[in-house]
Structure 1
Amino acid sequence: MDYSFVFLILLLPLFSFIVLGLAGMKMPHKTAGLIGTTSLGIVTALSYYTAFCYFTAERGADGAFATLVPYNFTWLPLGQLNFDLGIMLDPISVMMLIVISTVSLMVHIYSFGYMHGEKGFQRYYAYLSLFTMSMLGLVVATNIFQMYLFWELVGVSSYLLIGFYYPLQPAVSASKKAFIVTRFADMFFLIGILIFGYYTGSFSFSFAGDVVMADGTAPFIPVDVMKAVAAGGFILPTALVLMFIGGAGKSAMFPLHIWLPDAMEGPTPVSALIHAATMVVAGVFQIARLFPLWVEYAPGQMSIVVWVGVFTAFYAAAVACAQSDIKRVLAFSTISQIAFMMVALGVCMPGHHGEVLDNHAQLGFMASMFHLFTHAMFKACLFLGAGCIIHAVHSNEMSTMGGLRKYMPVTHITFLISCLAIAGIPFFSGFSSKDEIITACFAYSPVVGWIMTGVAAMTAFYMFRLYYGIFWGTENKELHAHHTPHEAPLNMTLPLIVLCVITVGVGVYTTIAGFAGWGGSFGSFVTASGAEYNIHFDLQVAATSTIIAIISIALATYIYKGEKQPIADKLYRTFPKLHRAAYKRFYMDEVYMFVTHKIIFRCVSTPIAWFDRHVIDGTFDFLAWGANEAGETIRPWQSGDVRKYAVWFITGTVALTLVLLCI
C-alpha cells in the first residue's frame, strides 16, 4: 500500500496555521473558521483512510501489524547521531491519528457556535491548527528527538490557547503556570533523551531493525541498546525515568499536576481538545512508545510509574469530589483518568524469560491504549457539554445551575451517557477499558487492584454529583428569570451527538465482544506487539466494579438529586476541614508558593541576586573604575607639551643608567 499521502496530515493544519496567522485578521470570522475546519475535515478523512488501509493490510507471519516509515530524512547530520524527521505508522500512532483528528474536528465545528463574536476568532482558529499539527507530528515521530521537537510545539500551542483571553489576568497567570511547570518537566525529558542518544548512538525507535521503509530499506540506524547496557546497567533505566518525568509533567501527574486545573481559564473547547483528549495523553503515549525498552531494560523502574499513577488517581478523585466549578471537576477527573492509563502501562511486566510479553503484560498495554481512546471521546463530550451549559447560564459554578434538564435536553442526554461511560457501566465504552485496567492491576498486585477499584467508585460518585448538581437539584429561578437557559445551537450539539454515538457504539461492541471472547479485532490494534489479543473480561472483576459503580451512583443520587441536600450539608458541617482541604486541592498550590517564594526565592535566589549585584557587578565596576582612574592618571603624560616629554625622557634615561650601573 502506498502511504505517500500521509504527509498531508501534517501539511494541511500547518498551512491553515500560516494562512490564518498571517492573513486571518483580514478575513471575515466565518471564512477563517471555514478554512480551519475544512483543513481539519480533510485531515480527519485522510486519518480514517490511513487507519482503514493500515488495519486491513496483510499482516506478518506472526500475525503482527507492520511498522512502516513512508518518510524519513536527515535534518541535522551530526556524525552517527543524526537528527531525523519523518512519519512512522504503527498500531498506536494510527490509533492516535484517529483520536486527535476526530476530537479536533469536533472542537473546530463546536467553536463556530461557542466562539461566535469573540475578539480574536481568527487567531483562535490559527492556534487550534498549530496545536493539531504539533500533536499529529508528535504521534507519528520516527525518533525521540522529533517527538521532543513537536512536544515543545504542543507546549507553545497550549500556552497560546490557555492564554487566549490575555486581557484577563487569570488567563495570563494560568498560561504562564502551565508553560513553566511543563518546561521544568521537559528539562528532565531532554536530559533523558541526551543520555539515551549518547550511550545508544541513536534517537530512533527501532530497537531490533524491524522498521522498514515502503521500499523495504532500513530508514535509520537501530538503537544499540547493548552498548548502553555495557556502559552500565543503570544508564537506560536512568534515561527512561528522566523521560518519564517529562511525560508526568505533560500528563499532569502528581506533583506536576498543578497547571491543569488552572488551564481551565482558556476557552472551553480548548479544554476539550488539550486537556481531555490530546495534550495530556502525550505522556502516556511517550511511555507506550518506549514500552519495549521499559519492559526489557527497566522493569524494576516500572513500579515508579505504577505508584505515581496510583497516588495521582486517588488524589485527583478526592479533590474532584469537593469542587464546585464544573470545569475543575472535569479537570481533576482528567488527571485521575490519565493516571489510570499510566498505572495500566506500569503494571505490565515481562514474561518468565524477560524476552516476550505474556498475556498479563499485553492486557495492561492494551487496556491503557484502549482507555486512552474511549476516554478521549466521552471526556471531550463532557467538556463540550460543559461549554454548552456555561454558554447557557454564563457561569461555571454549580450553584447557578440545577434543573437544566428541562431547558437543555440534548446536552442533558449526551452528558448523562458520558457520565455512565466514565463511571464504568456495562455497554458504555468506559466499562470495557476500565475493567481491563483493573483486571491488569489485580494481576500485578491485589493492593493496586483494590485501590484502583476504589478510585473507580469515587469516579462514579463525583461524576453523578456533578450531573445532579447541573441537571437536577435546586433550580436557580432568580437567575433563570433574568436569563432563561436554552439549548445550544446545532453546530454545538452536533459534536456532542457524534461523540456520544462513538461512546455508545464502541461500548456496546466491546462489552459484547469481551463477554463473548471475540474482541481481538480491537485488541490487536493496541497490544504492545501489535499481535492478536482477545479481550476476555474477568467476570469477578467486572461484576465487582459494576456493583461498586452502581452503589456509588446510587449514593450520589440519594445525596444530591433532591432540591434540598441535607445529607451533603450535614457531611460538610461534620467534616469542614476535610472538605476545605479537598476544595483547596489539599493546599498543593500553597505548598508550591511557599517553596518557591519562601525557600527558593528568599533563601536561594535572594543570596544569588545579592552576590550578582555586589560581587560580580562590583568586580566589573571596580575594574571599570580602575581603568578609568588609570587613564585619568596618565592623561597628563600625553599633553602634547614637548618640555614635559623632555623631562620624562631625561628622568627615565637617568633612572635606567643608575640601574645599569648598580648591576
Structure 2
Amino acid sequence: MFLLILTIPLINALTLGLFGRFFGCKGSSFLSCGFMWLCTILSWLAFIEVSLHKSICYIILGDWISINYMHISWGFLFDTLTVVMLVVINTISTLVHMYSVNYMKHDPHLSRFMAYLSFFTFCMLILVTANNFLQLFLGWEGVGLSSYLLINFWATRLNANQSALKAMIVNRVGDLGLIVGIFLVMFYFRSLDYNVVFALAPIFCSSYITIFSMQFHVITLIVLLLFIGSVGKSSQLGLHTWLPDAMEGPTPVSALIHAATMVTAGVFLLIRCSPIVEHSTIGLCVISIFGALTAIFAATTGIFQNDLKRVIAYSTCSQLGYMIFACGMSNYTVSMFHLFNHACFKALLFLSAGSIIHALNDEQDLRRMGSLVQLLPLTYSMVLIGSLSLAGFPFLTGFYSKDLILELTLILQYSGLFSVHKTFVFWLGCLAVFFTAFYSFRLIFFTFINSTNIIRTVIIHVHESTSILLQFPLILLGFGSIFVGYIFRDIFVGVGSNFWGMAIFTLPNQINCIEAEESFLTFYKLIPLFLSLIGVFVAYLTNYILPYYFVSFQLSFIGRWVTFLLNKKWYWDKIYNFLLVKAFVNFGYNTSFKLLDRGFFEVFLGPFGFVHVLPIWSKNISSVQTGQALHYMFFVFLNLLAILSFCLLQDISLFSIYFNCNYIFILCILPIILFSIPFSSF
C-alpha cells in the first residue's frame, strides 16, 4: 500500500505523457482522476494506520550509493509527519485534477497537462517520504522542474516564459544553500540518513568550524544553510519574488503550488529537521524574525495589488511567514497544523478565482469586475468562506491554527524564556492579521459587491458553471475550510495529545499548547480577532462606503508614495534588477562575450588563431613521415640534443626536468616544435 501511493502518480504521469494522444482528452481525464482518487484513498488509509494506530513503516528498497563510510539506500519513511503530508498532497492534487478536466477542456494539450500535474505530485511525494537528505534533495529538484514545466505550460506567452525562468533561477539560490548544508551534514555526521543524523545532533552542539579565520557553530551553520533552502522554496523575504510571478501559469497549477506542493516543501524541511534546528538558538531567532518580516511584508504588499491571483499569491506568502516563524518559536506542531488548514482554504480561493476568471473570459483585473454576487452565487459563497477562514474568523479552519501561533508567541513573550525579539515577532504577526483581513475583503468588494466595470459583451455571458467536476472540488474544500480546523485541533495540537510521537522533536524546556489553553491573558488573546474585525471594517469603509476619500488619499503626496511603494512590491524587483541583474548582464556582454568569446577565443584559438595555423603545422608534420628509420632516429637524436642543451644552460638535470612540473612543458612543446620543421629544410 505504501509503495502504491508513490508509484500511482508516476505511472499516471508516464502513461499520459507517452500514450496520452491515444487516450484522447476524455480518456486521459478519466484515467488521471481515477488514478489520483485511488492514491488519495490509500493515503487516508495510511494516515489511519500510521498516525492513529501508531504503526510507523520503514521501507528499504536497496542500495544507492556506497563509498567508504558513506552508505545511502533507496528508503522511505512513513511516520506521522509523512502521512499527514501525504493526505494534504494527494487530496488537493486529486481535486485539482478534477477541476482541471473542466477548466482546461478546450486546451488541445490536456493530456500533457495532466501528466505534468501527476509528475509534480510524484516529486513532492518523493520529497516527503525520503529517509535521507539526498533522496529529499532529489524530490526537491523534481518539484522545481515540475513547477517550471507547469508555469510555462502556455509556452507561447512571453510572460509565462519569463515567470518560469524566474522561478527556476531564484530557487537555484536557495538550492545552493541547501546542498551546501547537506555537504556539511555529510562531512560531520558521516551519514545522510535521518535516524543517524538526528541521533548524533546533540554531540555536535559544542563543535565549531573555521572559515576564513572565523569560527562558526556547526549546528547553527547547518541550520542557516537549510533555512536558505527553505527561503527559496517557501518564498520567504529575499527570495520571494518568484511566487507572485508564478501566477502566469494556469489557475489549477497555482492552486497546487500554493496549497499542497512546492511552497510547503520549505516548511516541511524545517519541521523534519527539528532535531537539528532545536539545538541552534541563533538559528531559531533568525527563522522567527524572517518569518514575521515575510508575513508583514506580503500582507502590506497585497493591499494595493489589482490582479486577482496575485492578491491570493501574496496571502500565501504571508501565511507561509506564519508557518516559518512558528518553527522559529519551536512550535512545529502548530506550524504543521496551520499548513494542514491552509491547504484547504488556499486551494478553495485559487479554484474559486479560476471560476471567476473562466466566467469573465480570462479577465484577472479587479478593477474590471464587480456585481458578480448574483451571477456567481456559488463562487461568491466559496470566496467568502475562504476569505473568512484566511482572516481568522472565529470557529473556521484558519482560526484554530493562526490564532494559536500568535497565542503561543504571546506566552513565550511573557514567560521570560526568550529574548525581546519575541515581542517584535508577535506584533508583526498581529499587524499582518489586520492587513490580511483588509485585502481579503477588498477582493470581495471589488469582485462581487461594488458596481460593475465589466464590458457588456462579457457580462451578458457570465454564468456559474454547472459542471460537477468544477463544483464538487469547490464544495468539498468549502466544507474543509469550515470544519477541518475544529475536527483535527484536538488530534494535532490538543492538550495531552501524543499524535506526532517522535516525528517532531522539541527540547523539554519549550512551552507547549497547554499554557496557551490555561493562559490568563484573555485580552491579549483577543487582539488578533479585534484586528481582523477592524481590517474588515476599514475595507468596508474604503472600498464600499467612502471610496472617494480613499482615492483622494491615494492621490495625495503621502498616499501616492505609499501606494506606489506597496503596489511595486517595495521595489524588490527593481533593487534586484539594478544591483544584480544589470551587473551580471554587463559582465556577460562586456567581459564574457566581447573580451573572451569574440576576443581571446576567436582571435587566438578560433578561426583567426590556432585553428588557422593548425592545418599548416599538420602539413609540415606529414611531410616528415618518410617511412625511413634513419630519419626517425635523426629526429629523436635532435630532440635529445636540444633538451640536453637546455639542461646545460639552466644548470638542471634530466631527473629534475622529468619530475618538476615547472619544466614539464619542455618535454611536450619542444619536440613538437622541432618535429614540425619540414624535413626538406635539412
How high is the TM-score relative to the length of structure 2? 0.83
Equivalent-residue separation in structure 1 for 2:246 and 2:372 (angstroms): 26
In the other structure, the counterpart of 2:233 is: 250
**Is the CA contact 2:409–2:426 (under 8 Å) kept in the aligned structure 1?**
yes
Equivalent runs, 1:25-424 vs 2, <5 Å: 25-58=21-54, 67-207=56-196, 223=200, 226=203, 230=207, 232=209, 234-296=217-279, 298-348=280-330, 364-394=331-361, 395-424=363-392
Shift of 1:449: 0.7
Equivalent of 1:446 in 418, 423, 446: 423
**Is the CA contact 1:456–1:549 (under 8 Å) kept in the aligned structure 2?**
yes
Distance 1:435 1:481, change over 3 A: closer
Shift of 1:227: 6.2
Shift of 1:312: 1.3
**Is the CA contact 1:197–1:203 (under 8 Å) kept in the aligned structure 2?**
yes
Shift of 1:319: 1.0
Q: Deviations over 1:262-287 (max 9, x none)?
A: 11011101100012332101001001
How high is the TM-score relative to the length of structure 1? 0.85
**Is the CA contact 1:460–1:553 (under 8 Å) kept in the aligned structure 2?**
yes
Q: Deviations over 1:124-158 (max 9, x none)?
A: 00001100011111111101111000110111111
Q: Deviations over 1:470-520 (max 9, x none)?
A: 110112353366533111232112111111111211244468x69xx9655
Letter aligned with residue 536 of structure 1? E
In the other structure, the counterpart of 1:351 is: none
Tell me whether 1:536 sits opposite 2:517 in the alignment.
yes
In the other structure, the counterpart of 1:506 is: 484
Letter aligned with residue 260 of structure 2? A
Q: Deviations over 1:433-482 (max 9, x none)?
A: 01111123221522211111011111111111111111101123533665
Unaligned runs of 5+ in 2: 210-215, 414-421, 646-682
Q: Deviations over 1:30-76 (max 9, x none)?
A: 11011111111011000000111122215xxxxxxx65313353212
In the other structure, the counterpart of 2:532 is: 549
Letter aligned with residue 386 of structure 2? S
**Is the CA contact 1:204–1:223 (under 8 Å) kept in the aligned structure 2?**
no
**Is the CA contact 2:368–2:454 (under 8 Å) kept in the aligned structure 1?**
no
Q: Deviations over 1:277-303 (max 9, x none)?
A: 32101001001111110112x222222
Equivalent of 1:492 in 470, 475, 494: 470
In the other structure, the counterpart of 1:581 is: 565
SS in 1 for 2:529: helix
In the other structure, the counterpart of 2:6 is: 10
Q: Which moved more, 1:91-100 or 1:74-83?
A: 74-83
Distance 1:498 1:183, change over 3 A: same
Distance 1:632 1:576, change over 3 A: same
Tell me whether 1:620 sits opposite 2:605 in the alignment.
yes
**Is the CA contact 1:278–1:376 (under 8 Å) kept in the aligned structure 2?**
no
Equivalent runs, 1:601-620 vs 2, <5 Å: 601-603=585-587, 606-613=590-597, 614-615=599-600, 618-620=603-605
**Is the CA contact 1:400–1:479 (under 8 Å) kept in the aligned structure 2?**
no
Shift of 1:525: 7.3
Shift of 1:347: 1.8
Distance 1:167 1:634, change over 3 A: closer
Equivalent-residue separation in structure 2 for 1:113 and 1:481 (angstroms): 20
Equivalent-residue separation in structure 2 for 1:408 and 1:164 (angstroms): 28
Shift of 1:81: 1.3
**Is the CA contact 2:332–2:504 (under 8 Å) kept in the aligned structure 1?**
yes
In the other structure, the counterpart of 1:596 is: 580
Equivalent-residue separation in structure 2 for 1:12 and 1:543 (angstroms): 46
In the other structure, the counterpart of 1:352 is: none
Equivalent-residue separation in structure 2 for 1:441 and 1:82 (angstroms): 41
Equivalent-residue separation in structure 1 for 2:128 and 2:35 (angstroms): 19
**Is the CA contact 1:134–1:151 (under 8 Å) kept in the aligned structure 2?**
yes
Tell me whether 1:23 sits opposite 2:19 in the alignment.
yes
Distance 1:405 1:198, change over 3 A: same
In the other structure, the counterpart of 2:672 is: none
Q: Which moved more, 1:533-542 or 1:439-448?
A: 533-542
- Aligned residues between the structures: 605
**Is the CA contact 2:400–2:486 (under 8 Å) kept in the aligned structure 1?**
no
Letter aligned with residue 596 of structure 2? D
Equivalent-residue separation in structure 2 for 1:507 and 1:88 (angstroms): 26
Q: Deviations over 1:594-627 (max 9, x none)?
A: 2234322214763244442334555535455555
**Is the CA contact 1:393–1:400 (under 8 Å) kept in the aligned structure 2?**
no
Tell me whether 1:473 sits opposite 2:469 in the alignment.
no
Shift of 1:329: 0.2
Equivalent-residue separation in structure 2 for 1:595 and 1:231 (angstroms): 33
**Is the CA contact 2:292–2:428 (under 8 Å) kept in the aligned structure 1?**
yes
In the other structure, the counterpart of 1:63 is: none
Q: Deviations over 1:507-561 (max 9, x none)?
A: 44468x69xx965559757983499965727533431111111111111112223
SS in 2 for 1:77: strand
Equivalent runs, 1:617-656 vs 2, <5 Å: 618-621=603-606, 622-624=609-611, 627-628=614-615, 630=617
Q: Deviations over 1:307-358 (max 9, x none)?
A: 211211111111100001110001111111101100110122xxxxxxxxxx
Equivalent-residue separation in structure 1 for 2:160 and 2:10 (angstroms): 26
Letter aligned with residue 3 of structure 2? F
Distance 1:624 1:69, change over 3 A: same
Letter aligned with residue 415 of structure 1? V
**Is the CA contact 1:165–1:266 (under 8 Å) kept in the aligned structure 2?**
yes
Q: Deviations over 1:215-269 (max 9, x none)?
A: xxxxxxx657636854646223222211211111011111111111111011101
Equivalent-residue separation in structure 2 for 1:537 and 1:406 (angstroms): 45
Q: Deviations over 1:616-651 (max 9, x none)?
A: 5555354555555555667777799xxxx9xx99xx
Equivalent-residue separation in structure 2 for 1:249 and 1:433 (angstroms): 24
Equivalent-residue separation in structure 2 for 1:79 and 1:369 (angstroms): 37
Letter aligned with residue 56 of structure 1? L
Distance 1:632 1:119, change over 3 A: same
The sequence identity of aligned pairs, in percent, is 32
SS in 2 for 1:203: coil
**Is the CA contact 2:60–2:73 (under 8 Å) kept in the aligned structure 1?**
no
Tell me whether 1:558 sits opposite 2:529 in the alignment.
no
**Is the CA contact 1:309–1:339 (under 8 Å) kept in the aligned structure 2?**
yes
Q: Which moved more, 1:626-635 or 1:183-192?
A: 626-635
Equivalent runs, 1:450-469 vs 2, <5 Å: 450-469=427-446
**Is the CA contact 2:62–2:74 (under 8 Å) kept in the aligned structure 1?**
yes
Distance 1:624 1:481, change over 3 A: closer
Letter aligned with residue 554 of structure 1? F
SS in 1 for 2:70: coil
**Is the CA contact 2:295–2:322 (under 8 Å) kept in the aligned structure 1?**
yes
Q: Which moved more, 1:630-639 or 1:580-589?
A: 630-639
Shift of 1:79: 2.6
